[in-house]
Amino acid sequence: MSETLEKVEAINQALEIIDKGLGSMHTREIVSTSEVSDLLLDMRSILTAADLARLDELEEAITVN
């Protein structure tokens, strides 16, 4: 259950970043590739962090067994 909540939170954070990025970019005619890259990297970091938390749990379970 905790894993599911962590993933939902990570997805919600990624969606917030997307919404902010789209909100600021949609009114502009030109968007730099670095701005788009930053947005994608921020989303990737959040989603990867959620997966890393799960990997830590798996490692602990393996070590205990």
Write down the pTM of the prediction.
0.57
Q: Give 36-57 pLDDT, tens digit per residue.
A: 888 888 888 887 877 766 656 6
Averaged pLDDT score across all residues of the chain: 78
| Average pLDDT, integer, range 24-37 | 86
10: part of which helix (H) or strand (E)? helix 2-25
Count of domains observed in the chain: 1
- What is the residue range of 40's domain? 2-64
Token couple for 2: 């905790």
* 50 or 23, greater pLDDT: 23
